[in-house]
Amino acid sequence: MAATVILEPADRCCWDEPVRIVVRGLAPGQPVTLRSSLRDEKGALFRAYGRYRADGGGELDLARAPALGGSFAGLEPMGLFWALEPEKPLVRLVKRDVQTPFTVELEVLESHKPEPQRVLGRAVHERHFLGPGVRREPVRAGRVRAALFLPPGLGPFPGVIDLFGSGGGLCEYRASLLSGHGFAVLALAYFRFEDLPEYLNDMHLEYFEEAVDFMLQHPKVKGPTIGLLGFSKGGDLCLSMASFLKGITATVLINSCVANTITSLHYKDMTIPGLENDLGKCTITESGLLDNTDSWNNPLEEPNHQSLIPLEKAQGPFLFIVSEDDHSWKSEFYAHIASERLQAHGKVRPQIISYPGAGHCIEPPYFPPSIASVHAVLGQAIFYGGEPRAHSRAQVDAWQQIQTFFHKHLDGKKSVKCSKI
């Protein structure tokens, strides 16, 4: 092999950190193809490639050299990561065990030809989900089923509860990465995990109240309040938690509904019915994917407004992260309903950050955009929306915005360190 692949950081870093890729030892102006590959825990293969040309000194620095084509084009220093595509269609890259890294192999191939070429250089990079010193503690406290992530140090740390959507299970990768930025984060399961209900039927807010109490009583959690981070169905649950439960002062919602969705929500003697969706209004894309954009009933119309969550009762500020190409539901429309309702009740206007070209599934940075995949519960191929390049940029920015919001309202800090690449 004639070329040397230099990575910075050299061998490993966290998944949400950028890595600098430089190739040396090439001929001046030499055309090469860079290829990345990764296998998930189930053995599914993901690949990306970019065509490049070395500079006059025989060096290729992805921070300065634009891709001339391939899985992406233009100046994309992290394109070999965010553009990873599954070998088998409709497979979504998720991290199931955060205690092990993803291993990404990078290869430098001779020329731009599409057929297999001679390998000129190779490097392996470990992408971890537990930062240095971050601790993972399984939680089986009362009814609560979760995993708690604690940053290095004595603490106490600002606390956050993290909820995912209607796929169920215990999703830990976002919580583990966020903990690396100074937060005690509880990844909370609420169905399809261990002895929790198998399906989303009649949710009870008391379960989530128990999780809040667990966090506020934990010696490593700063208190006297915590934050909430919710995506999709997990977002409207966070809205309900902020509206009815004590001890919550900062709530971040990623492409969420302003109404309670899917199933009824109970708390003490109160019931909020689930906003219904009319499957007859779903559309099918040219690729045969299910598009849910227009299937949900308007929560402002009778009798749907009974499903609206009284978020004006919440004590703290809101951050709505919304995607303008969300094909799961009209998240931008919902965020503006929330804003108008809060202002009508004399509350502070929420912060709304809107991302053109982004789809429903906003993940931590450098995850390949999930434009479509088979839903874990429905078993159907769902179209989530999004243009890969715009979606990838949205994920990087949203991650910084989430940290800034929580540091400001839970920890009194004004800003966070941004990525250099």
Q: What is the pLDDT of residues 291-310, one digit of tens each?
A: 998 899 999 999 899 999 99
User: Could you read off the pLDDT of 253-290 as tens digits, one per residue?
Assistant: 999 999 999 999 999 999 999 998 887 788 999 888 99
User: Residue 326 catalytic?
Assistant: yes
End-to-end CA distance of the chain: 28
Q: Are residues 346 and 398 in the same domain?
A: yes
Residue 179 CA: distances (Å) to CA of 157, 192, 210, 225: 10, 24, 21, 17
Cβ–Cβ < 8 Å for 386, 398: no
User: 319 - beta bridge partners?
Assistant: 252, 351
Q: What letter would DSSP give residue 99?
A: T
Whole-angstrom Cα distance, residue 208 to residue 189?
A: 10
Beta-carbon contacts of 53 under 8 Å, excluding residues fewer than 6 positions away, are 29, 30, 31, 32, 60, 65, 68
Q: How far is CA 266 from the centre of its chain?
A: 28
Q: Are residues 62 and 171 in the same domain?
A: no
Whole-angstrom Cα distance, residue 199 to residue 192?
A: 7
- Tell me whether residue 418 is in a domain: no
Q: Are residues 360 and 259 in the same domain?
A: yes
- Tell me whether residue 254 is in a domain: yes
- Tell me whether residue 372 is in a domain: yes
- Tell me whether residue 416 is in a domain: no
SS3 334: helix
Residue 257: name the closest of 207, 315, 187, 305 by CA: 305
User: Could you read off the pLDDT of 306-346 as tens digits, one per residue?
Assistant: 999 999 999 989 999 999 999 999 999 999 999 999 999 99
In which band, very low, low, confident or very high, does the pLDDT at 412 lie, cut at 50, 70 and 90?
Answer: confident
Residue with tokens 């909020």: 272
Which of 80, 98, 128 is the C-terminal boundary of a domain? 128
Residue 184 CA: distances (Å) to CA of 86, 210, 227, 379: 33, 17, 10, 33
- Tell me whether residue 419 is in a domain: no
Q: Catalytic residue among 71, 166, 179, 232, which? A: 232
**Residue 419: is its pLDDT beyond 70?**
no
Which of 128, 152, 172 is the C-terminal boundary of a domain? 128
Residue 388: name the closest of 84, 69, 15 by CA: 84
User: Could you read off the pLDDT of 151-163 as tens digits, one per residue?
Assistant: 999 999 999 999 9
Instruction: Please compute the mean of the pLDDT values over residues 113-142 and round it to a whole number.
Output: 94
Which of 128, 144, 176 is the C-terminal boundary of a domain? 128
pLDDT of 2 = 87
- Tell me whether residue 82 is in a domain: yes
pLDDT of 179 = 98
**E strand intervals along 154-279:** 159-163, 184-188, 203-204, 226-231, 248-254, 265-267, 270-272
User: Residue 11 catalytic?
Assistant: no
Question: Helices 205-217 and 233-244 meet at what angle, rounded to 10?
Answer: 70
- Tell me whether residue 325 is in a domain: yes
Q: Are residues 243 and 94 in the same domain?
A: no
Q: Are residues 88 and 171 in the same domain?
A: no
**Residue 142: is its pLDDT beyond 60?**
yes
Q: Are residues 190 and 93 in the same domain?
A: no
Q: Catalytic residue among 326, 331, 391, 392, which? A: 326
Q: Are residues 38 and 177 in the same domain?
A: no
pLDDT of 378 = 77
Quick one: three-class SS letters along 210-243? HHHHHHHHCCCECCCCEEEEEECHHHHHHHHHHH
Q: Could you give the number of structural domains in the chain?
A: 2
Task: Determine whether 212 is exposed, middle or buried from the number of CB atoms within 10 Å of its CB (0-12, 13-18, 19+).
Answer: buried
Q: Are residues 149 and 97 in the same domain?
A: no
Whole-angstrom Cα distance, residue 90 to residue 199?
A: 23
Q: Are residues 180 and 216 in the same domain?
A: yes
pLDDT of 375 = 86
pLDDT of 163 = 98
**Residue 122: is its pLDDT beyond 50?**
yes
- Tell me whether residue 421 is in a domain: no
pLDDT of 287 = 86
The CATH number assigned to the domain holding 297 equals 3.40.50.1820
**Segment among 112-121, 248-257, 320-329 with least mean pLDDT:** 112-121
Q: Which residue would you say has higher pLDDT here, 292 or 390?
A: 390
Give the global pTM.
0.96
- Report percent pLDDT > 70 for the chain: 98
Q: Are residues 254 and 157 in the same domain?
A: yes
Q: Catalytic residue among 125, 181, 327, 360, which? A: 360
User: Could you read off the pLDDT of 165-186 as tens digits, one per residue?
Assistant: 999 999 999 999 999 999 999 9
In which band, very low, low, confident or very high, does the pLDDT at 376 lie, cut at 50, 70 and 90?
Answer: confident
**Residue 416: is its pLDDT beyond 70?**
no
**Residue 123: is its pLDDT beyond 70?**
yes
**Residue 420: is its pLDDT beyond 90?**
no
Q: Are residues 20 and 156 in the same domain?
A: no
> Which tokens sit at 285?
């894309």
Residue 146: name the closest of 212, 200, 205, 211 by CA: 211
Q: What is the mean pLDDT of the chain?
A: 95
Q: Are residues 166 and 41 in the same domain?
A: no
**Residue 201: is its pLDDT beyond 50?**
yes
In which band, very low, low, confident or very high, does the pLDDT at 413 lie, cut at 50, 70 and 90?
Answer: confident
The CATH number assigned to the domain holding 74 equals 2.60.40.2240
Which domain covers residue 83, as residue numbers?
A: 4-128
User: Could you read off the pLDDT of 12-52 as tens digits, one per residue?
Assistant: 999 999 999 999 999 999 999 999 999 999 999 999 999 99
**Residue 418: is its pLDDT beyond 70?**
no
pLDDT of 417 = 55
Residue 77: name the closest of 419, 354, 401, 394 by CA: 419
